[in-house]
């Protein structure tokens, strides 16, 4: 039976009781943090009952389930999310209110579990939410990083990284499960033993090893009693064995094992769309893959004995290539631990694994030096060699004589292990994350593989959860939508189209704009509290929040702001609707260009915000430490959503969808899921600019783009670029921004000047902004545009995405819950 949240009165009493029993304090004496912990336990009580029931039904009904394998789960705070899904948010809010406490302050006590970098990790979290809401049995498998994504401080305009110690105090929504510990082995060598039956036994010796301990987190479905599990693995040294080695005098090995365990799960690599190729990262990958597979097989064998039928009950979805070792480790377990021969093991593996590609950026392609790989994972390496040998034979059979093709496609080539190639060779499904992205994979980046296995390729356009990004982040709009069209959109976002009936209703449009204004005031206060910048909630809030990457072109945005500032200075009476440009972005710690762009944004902000002469027409704000929790407020307050990546580079984007859901209008390129947003909007109520992906790809191929021409032909660009190197935004050090200038114009400095076509798209970007200005001036026009975005957002729910994964790839059984 589904357990529900108690009534407001009961919650009020329970919170007080918990404060007493947990902290030996009366409610009045408790700190906000203690009240948060008490609330967490009140909610946990309900969650745990439903978790137990779900797992019992799981065992009884024996449905097929998905293991979502991901190095990142950017789950964000769970208290608010769980209250919403348990349908107790209002009750807890009212209970706290009766006790004189603001629920926001309590939610604010929770650390923001930042076990991911950006889109890829947040997508994994949205998927878990949708799986539970749709009652599909699923496990998330990941790593319990002790330090997640760093916290960003801005000091003198520069980014400074501060460790994110989210586990400093006990996290109330995780449960250690020592009963599911497994050993994971690294290094050493492999000895062969021929068996009397003619087979060979492989014995791994001389290795270092750690114990993997899972911490389970509940993943609640919306109002349905379903609770799935996110298992994140931590590493411990092997106490018992360690003692044994001490006795043998093997002191060094014991210390090595201890250090291995200590380092393994210490920190998330803070790179988005970029890989560093560090050995520790490969260790992390094998660690969580091996532990997760061992647990999955362990569970399977509790109720089944025929391992050949594993694909009927289990599917492993690999979130990018980071968990590709799933392929070889599953082969190893099936052969070495469960006695299958190669062919049977391959049959099972290739029916259990599927791969999602999230990027075409070359620097994000994972390739491991063979020497490192072999040294760290000797048995796995042998298996990869054999997979590669057979794969190359298969290519040769299909394309006889085409040795170049074999070289291009091989898993082992040029002294490297190419993870994407292994993922594709073994997976029964390979998907991209937006229609355009999948087409580019098929026709460009993975064309060889598409020719080999056309049937494997499919598209699954990304989505987001409306429970977190509307109900929780923007409860005012959420309540308003409910008052207009009811509640069905909460679990079926396509119902948002019912809002079309209100597009011509002046009163509704007014209410809608009033809510946006309230949300802008909430953000303006946040900005005042954090930045001490006074922004006018009546100005246009134009927002770009996402990881900082050159392909995402925050530089285009700030160069345009510099241009606008010049225009306003030159023509003080020009017709211009006051605009606040809001940025939020973390740069990877070693990414110098990206960090310099952050500094530029902050310096431009300092100059513009302090210039009284422009009469507050322009403001620039850089929000420090952009993360899931403040993102929810930012989306709610945005008028304009900046989705301006170089066409072809942003696989999908998901921030674009969160803005749309909250009634912001997009200015964007025809890239990633923007293309599908454009289609859903019938090409209206969205501002498209810039080159198409075909044009970009053609320029890249023909090497015929010269940014110097763009500058020479456009005096506005000339002026702005001049200001980059004449000290206009850096009086003390006029050379400060020279590297940015060079990256745009100087072919000696980068692979290609203006790699991301910033100057090429500049004029058309300016024009699109002028159209926004014109549209915003008419309040009703704008309200209609914005509301139309909400009405057409239906496709972009992760519920829709998950249903497609289930129908086309996973074929899961829904769990029945009373």
- Quick check: 730 binds ligand KOT (CB under 6 A)? no
For residue 658, the minimal CB distance to ligand KOT (Å) is 11
Rounded distance, CA 672 to CA 436, Å? 6
| Of residues 146 and 358, the one with the C-beta less far from ligand KOT | 358
Q: Which of 313, 442, 658, 795 is the catalytic position?
A: 658
434 membership: H or E segment, kind and range: none
Span interacting with ligand KOT, options 21-29, 47-55, 113-121, 409-417, rule CB under 6 A: 113-121
Report the alpha-carbon distance of residue 38 to residue 11 in Å, rounded: 10
Neighbours of 181 (CB within 10 A): 18
Of 110 and 320, the one with the shorter C-beta distance to ligand KOT is 320
Residue carrying the six token digits 């890989």: 275
Report the nearest approach of ligand KOT to the CB of residue 362 (Å).
11
- Closest by CA to 336, choosing from 402, 383, 374, 268, is 383
Q: Which of residues 147-186 bind ligand KOT (CB under 6 A)?
A: none
Please identify, among the stretches 186-194, 537-545, 648-656, 740-748, the one whose residues bind ligand KOT according to the rule CB under 6 A.
648-656
With a CB cutoff of 8 Å and minimum separation 6, the contacts of 769 are: 560, 564, 667, 687
- Least Å distance, CB 653 to ligand KOT, is 5
Query: Which distant-in-sequence residues (6+ apart) come within 8 Å of 403 by Cβ?
Result: none
Q: How far is Cα 463 from Cα 797, in angstroms, rounded to an integer?
A: 5
Q: Answer yes or no whether residue 515 interacts with ligand KOT by CB under 6 A.
A: no
Other beta carbons less than 10 A from residue 62's beta carbon: 14
- State the minimum distance, in angstroms, from the CB of residue 358 to ligand KOT: 3
Can residue 272 be called a binding residue for ligand KOT (CB under 6 A)? Answer: yes
C-alpha distances in Å from residue 160, one per residue of 226, 628, 800: 41, 19, 39
- Given the complex with ligand KOT, which of 668 and 707 has the nearer CB atom? 668
Q: Which of 44, 654, 685, 693 binds ligand KOT (CB under 6 A)?
A: 654
Q: Which is nearer to ligand KOT, 433 or 636 (CB)?
A: 433
Decide if residue 317 touches ligand KOT (CB under 6 A): no
Instruction: Draw the binding track, 16-45, toward ligand KOT (x: CB under 6 A; -: no contact).
Output: ------------------------------
730/173 Cα distance (integer angstroms): 47
Range 387-446, binding ligand KOT (CB under 6 A): 433
547 classed as catalytic: yes
Identified binder of ligand KOT from the candidate list 119, 148, 221, 690, rule CB under 6 A: 119
Q: How far is CA 100 from CA 72, 197, 311, 718, in A?
A: 38, 76, 54, 58
Q: Which of the following is catalytic: 54, 356, 654, 666?
A: 654
Distance CA 754, CA 745 (A): 6
Q: Residue 188 or residue 653: which is nearer to ligand KOT going by CB?
A: 653
Q: How far apart are the first and last CA of the chain?
A: 6
What's the min distance (Å) between Cβ of 74 and ligand KOT?
A: 11
Coil, helix or strand for 539?
coil
- Decide if 313 is catalytic: no
Q: Does 140 bind ligand KOT (CB under 6 A)?
A: no
# binding residues, ligand KOT (CB under 6 A): 20
Q: Which are the contacts of 644, defined by CB distance < 8 A and separation ≥ 6?
A: 544, 552, 553, 556, 557, 667, 668, 669, 689, 690, 761, 765
Give the nearest distance from C-beta 582 to ligand KOT in angstroms.
Answer: 21
Selected range binding ligand KOT among 43-51, 118-126, 291-299, 300-308, rule: CB under 6 A: 118-126
Question: Is residue 123 part of the contact set for ligand KOT (CB under 6 A)?
Answer: yes
Q: Using the rule CB under 6 A, is 657 a contact of ligand KOT?
A: no
Q: Which of 360, 364, 406, 628 binds ligand KOT (CB under 6 A)?
A: 364
Residue 653 sits in the site that holds ligand KOT (CB under 6 A): yes
Residues 6+ apart with CB under 8 A from 233: 141, 142, 143, 144, 212, 213, 214, 215, 265, 287, 288, 291, 292
| CA 476 to chain CA mean position, Å | 26
Burial 263-279 (b: 16+ CB within 10 A, else e): ebbebbbbbbbbbeeee
Which residues are within 8 A (CB) of 23 and not within 5 positions of it... i.e. 6 or more apart?
A: 30, 34, 37, 38
Interaction between residue 120 and ligand KOT (CB under 6 A)? yes
Least distance to ligand KOT, CB of residue 689, Å: 19
Which residue blocks in 367-418 are alpha helix, DSSP H? Answer: 370-376, 378-398, 403-409
Pick the closer one to ligand KOT by CB: 269 or 705: 269
Least distance from C-beta 747 to ligand KOT, angstroms? 27
Closest distance to ligand KOT from the beta carbon of 133 (Å): 19
CB 238 to ligand KOT: min, Å: 30
Q: Is 652 in the site for ligand KOT (CB under 6 A)?
A: yes
Q: Is residue 642 at the binding interface for ligand KOT, with CB under 6 A as the rule?
A: no
Selecting among 421, 552, 627, 795, the annotated active-site residue is: 552
Confirm or reject binding of residue 651 to ligand KOT (CB under 6 A).
yes
Counting Cβ atoms within 10 Å, is residue 342 exposed (0-12), middle (13-18) or buried (19+)? Answer: middle
> CB of 721 within 8 A of CB of 707?
no
> With respect to ligand KOT, which residue has the nearer C-beta, 8 or 359?
359
In the complex, minimum distance from the CB of residue 268 to ligand KOT, in angstroms, rounded to a whole number: 10
Q: Which two tokens stand for residue 235?
A: 């590493």
554 binds ligand KOT (CB under 6 A): no
**In this complex, which beta carbon is closest to ligand KOT, that of residue 234 or of residue 272?**
272
Report how far Cα 570 is from the mean position of its chain's Cα atoms: 42
Query: Is 586 considered catalytic here?
Result: no
| Residue choice 74, 138, 227, 275 for contact with ligand KOT (CB under 6 A) | 275
Backbone phi, psi, residue 368, to 5°: -110, 135
- Cβ nearer to ligand KOT, comparing 217 with 464: 464
Q: In this complex, which beta carbon is closest to ligand KOT, that of residue 96 or of residue 657?
A: 657
User: CB-wise, 83 or 360, nearer to ligand KOT?
Assistant: 360
Dist. CA 623–CA 630, nearest whole Å = 9
Q: Strands (DSSP E) along 616-701, which ranges?
A: 618-622, 640-643, 665-668, 687-688
Of these residues, 358, 516, 553, 716, which one is catalytic?
358
Residue 50 touching ligand KOT (CB under 6 A) = no
Does residue number 604 form part of the binding site for ligand KOT (CB under 6 A)? no
- In the residue annotation, 658 being an active-site residue is answered as yes
φ/ψ bin of 236: left (φ > 0), alpha (ψ from -120 to 50), beta (otherwise):
beta
- At closest approach, how far in Å is the CB of 573 from ligand KOT? 42
Q: Using CA atoms, how far apart are residues 406 and 214, in angstroms rounded to an integer?
A: 40
Cβ proximity to ligand KOT, 43 vs 69, nearer residue: 69
- Residue 359 in contact with ligand KOT, rule: CB under 6 A: yes
Q: What are 316's strand-pairing partners?
A: 67, 353
Q: Does 650 bind ligand KOT (CB under 6 A)?
A: yes
Instruction: Compute the distance between CA of residue 163 and CA of residue 604 in angstroms, rounded to an integer.
Output: 28
Q: Which of 547, 549, 649, 784 is catalytic?
A: 547
Q: Segment 450-489, which members bind ligand KOT (CB under 6 A)?
A: 462
Residue whose token pair is 């090497």: 703
Closest distance to ligand KOT from the beta carbon of 677 (Å): 13
Burial of 380 (0-12, 13-18, 19+ CB in 10 A): buried
Taken in order 793, 796, 797, 801, is the CA torsion positive or negative? positive
Question: Which residues contact ligand KOT (rule: CB under 6 A)?
Answer: 117, 119-120, 123, 271-273, 275, 320, 358-359, 364, 433, 462, 650-654, 672
Residues classed as catalytic: 358, 546-547, 552, 654, 658
């Amino acid at each position: 039976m589904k357990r529900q949240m108690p009534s407001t009165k009961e919650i009020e009493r329970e919170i007080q009781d918990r404060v007493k029993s947990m902290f030996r304090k009366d409610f009045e004496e408790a700190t906000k943090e203690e009240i948060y912990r008490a609330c967490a336990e009140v909610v946990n009580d309900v969650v745990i009952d439903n978790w137990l029931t779900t797992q019992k039904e799981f065992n009884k009904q024996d449905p097929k389930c998905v293991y979502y394998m991901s190095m990142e789960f950017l789950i964000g705070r769970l208290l608010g999310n769980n209250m919403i899904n348990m349908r107790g948010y209002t009750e807890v809010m009212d209970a706290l209110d009766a006790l004189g406490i603001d629920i926001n302050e309590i939610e604010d006590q929770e650390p923001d579990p930042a076990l991911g970098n950006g889109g890829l990790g947040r997508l994994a979290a949205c998927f878990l939410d949708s799986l539970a809401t749709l009652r599909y049995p699923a496990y998330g498998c990941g790593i319990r990083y002790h330090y997640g994504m760093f916290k960003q401080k801005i000091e003198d305009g520069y980014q400074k990284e501060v460790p994110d110690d989210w586990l400093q105090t006990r996290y109330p929504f995780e449960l250690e499960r020592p009963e599911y510990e497994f050993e994971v082995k690294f290094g050493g060598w492999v000895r062969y033993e021929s068996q009397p039956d003619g087979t060979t036994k492989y014995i791994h010796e001389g290795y270092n090893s750690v114990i993997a301990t899972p911490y389970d987190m509940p993943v609640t479905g919306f109002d349905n009693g379903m609770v799935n599990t996110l298992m994140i693995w931590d590493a411990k040294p092997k106490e018992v064995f360690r003692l044994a080695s001490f006795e043998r005098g093997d002191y060094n090995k014991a210390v090595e094992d201890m250090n291995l365990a200590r380092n393994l799960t210490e920190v998330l690599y803070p790179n988005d769309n970029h890989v560093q190729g560090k050995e520790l990262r490969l260790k992390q990958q094998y660690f969580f893959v091996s532990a997760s597979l061992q647990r999955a097989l362990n569970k399977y064998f509790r109720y089944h004995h025929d391992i050949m039928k594993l694909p009927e009950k289990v599917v492993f979805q690999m979130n990018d290539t980071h968990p590709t070792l799933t392929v070889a480790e599953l082969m190893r377990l099936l052969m070495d631990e469960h006695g299958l021969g190669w062919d049977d093991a391959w049959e099972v593996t290739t029916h259990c694994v599927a791969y999602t590609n999230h990027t075409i950026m070359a620097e994000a392609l994972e390739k491991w030096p063979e020497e490192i790989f072999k040294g760290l994972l000797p048995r796995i390496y042998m298996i990869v060699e054999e997979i590669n040998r057979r794969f190359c034979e298969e290519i040769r059979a299909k394309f006889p004589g085409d040795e170049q093709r074999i070289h291009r496609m091989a898993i082992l080539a040029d002294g490297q292990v190419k993870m994407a190639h292994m993922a594709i060779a073994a997976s029964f499904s390979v998907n991209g994350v937006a229609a355009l992205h999948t087409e580019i994979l098929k026709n460009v980046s993975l064309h060889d593989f598409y020719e080999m296995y056309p049937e494997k390729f499919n598209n699954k356009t990304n989505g987001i959860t409306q429970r977190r990004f509307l109900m929780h982040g923007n409860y005012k709009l959420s309540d308003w939508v409910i008052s207009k069209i009811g509640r069905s959109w909460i679990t079926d976002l396509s119902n948002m189209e019912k809002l079309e009936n209100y597009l011509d209703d002046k009163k509704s449009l007014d209410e809608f704009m009033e809510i946006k204004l309230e949300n802008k005031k909430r953000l303006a206060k946040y900005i005042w509290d954090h930045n001490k910048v006074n922004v006018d909630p009546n100005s246009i809030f134009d927002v770009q929040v996402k990881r900082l990457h050159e392909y995402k072109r925050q530089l285009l945005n700030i160069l345009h702001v510099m241009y606008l500032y010049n225009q306003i200075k030159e023509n003080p009476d020009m017709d211009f609707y006051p605009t606040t440009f809001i940025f939020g972005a973390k740069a990877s710690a070693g990414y110098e260009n990206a960090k310099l762009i952050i500094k530029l944004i902050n310096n431009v902000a300092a100059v513009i915000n302090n210039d009284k002469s422009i009469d507050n027409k322009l403001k620039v704000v850089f929000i420090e430490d952009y993360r899931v929790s403040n993102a929810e407020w930012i989306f709610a307050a945005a008028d304009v959503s900046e989705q301006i990546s170089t066409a072809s580079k942003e696989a999908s984007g998901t921030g674009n969808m969160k803005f749309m859901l909250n009634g912001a209008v997009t200015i964007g390129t025809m890239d990633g899921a923007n293309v599908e947003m454009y289609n859903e909007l019938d090409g209206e109520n969205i501002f498209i600019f810039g080159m198409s992906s075909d044009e970009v790809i053609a320029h890249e191929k023909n090497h015929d783009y010269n940014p110097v021409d763009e500058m020479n032909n456009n005096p506005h660009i000339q002026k702005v670029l001049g200001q980059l190197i004449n000290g206009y935004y850096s009086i003390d050090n006029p050379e400060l921004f020279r590297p940015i200038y060079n990256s745009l114009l100087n072919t000696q400095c980068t692979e290609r000047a203006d790699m991301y076509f910033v100057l090429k798209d500049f004029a058309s970007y300016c024009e699109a902004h002028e159209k926004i200005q014109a549209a915003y001036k008419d309040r009703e026009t704008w309200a209609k545009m914005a509301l139309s975005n909400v009405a057409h957002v239906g496709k972009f729910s992760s519920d829709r995405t998950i249903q497609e994964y289930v129908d086309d790839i996973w074929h899961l059984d829904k769990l029945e819950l009373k």
